[in-house]
Structure 1
Amino acid sequence: MKKYLIQKNPFVVPTTDGKLIEEHHGKVATQNNAISIAHMVAPPKWSEPFQTPEFDEYTYIISGKKQFIIDDDIVVLEKGQSIKIEANTRVQYSNPFDEPCEYIAICTPAFDFNKVHREQEE
């Protein structure tokens, strides 16, 4: 039995907002509940509703910029920067800029849509 797993076929999460989500490791891709690792590309002018996830989320920006509204702070990350947002923190993710944002997202424990607690858009 091998003690490693090379992921060649990530799970592509179906989306309706133009965002690419490729889960390489996590609940769906590898049945790993402890961690999820996803490659993402957020298109220009993309945003999600506010949410208060039950997991820590780390984001590393590969290219472009991504905006985070964390409680009352507005944070913009650029290429080569990363952030950790602790579980149970109210946050909104967006790309209000004119270019795509490519990034890696890591969640511990793994991302679970039932534990993200997205707010209803008005």
Structure 2
Amino acid sequence: MRKKYQIQKSPFVVPTTDGKLIEEHFGKATDGNSEISIAHMIAPPGWSEPFQTPEFDEYTYIIKGKKQFIIEGEKVILESGQSIKIEKNTRIQYSNPFESACEYLAICLPAFSIESVHREES
């Protein structure tokens, strides 16, 4: 009989060049799931990404630290214990301009893919 659950003991560590840790627990890179991706991330102090306009809804839950979002021109700062949902096709920039690392969970519906994030040239 097939198990009706899956425990993730070895998430896919996404290679990065900006010091950010990305561990995908479920999603395209780990189990081929294109419906949802769930990742644990740690953004170092001073980290930022280019603006992007993803084709997926993204939910972020802050575990530790603070994270800055620029959402269609509006600056939003979340702290530990807070969460946000950002609707697909919204222009956004993620960053951590603060002095300590930010640890958070990100959930994308449908799953994150580099083809569907639409990052702008920096």
Task: Give the TM-score taking structure 2 as reference length.
Answer: 0.99
In structure 1, the partner of 2:71 is 70
Summarize deviations over 1:5-61 as a string: whole Å, max 9, x none. Answer: 000000000000000000000001111100000000000000000000000000000
Alpha-carbon distance, 1:64 to partner: 0.2
Q: Determine whether 1:95 maps to 2:96.
A: yes
In structure 1, the partner of 2:54 is 53
* Map 1:10-21 → 2, pairs under 5 A: 10-21=11-22
The number of aligned residues is 121
Superposed CA RMSD in Å reads: 0.3
Structure 1 gaps of 5+ residues are none
In structure 2, the partner of 1:39 is 40
In structure 1, the partner of 2:4 is 3
Deviating runs (4+, > 3 A) in structure 1?
Answer: none
Equivalent position amino acid for 1:89 in 2: T
Q: Determine whether 1:22 maps to 2:23.
A: yes
Alpha-carbon distance, 1:119 to partner: 0.3
Alpha-carbon distance, 1:112 to partner: 0.7
Q: Determine whether 1:106 maps to 2:107.
A: yes
Equivalent position amino acid for 1:95 in 2: N
Partner of 1:29: helix, strand, or coil? helix
Bigger proportion of residues as helix: 2
Task: Give the TM-score taking structure 1 as reference length.
Answer: 0.99
Partner of 2:55: helix, strand, or coil? coil
Mapped partners of 2:22, 2:47: distance in 1: 13
Structure 2 gaps of 5+ residues are none
Equivalent position amino acid for 2:13 in 1: V
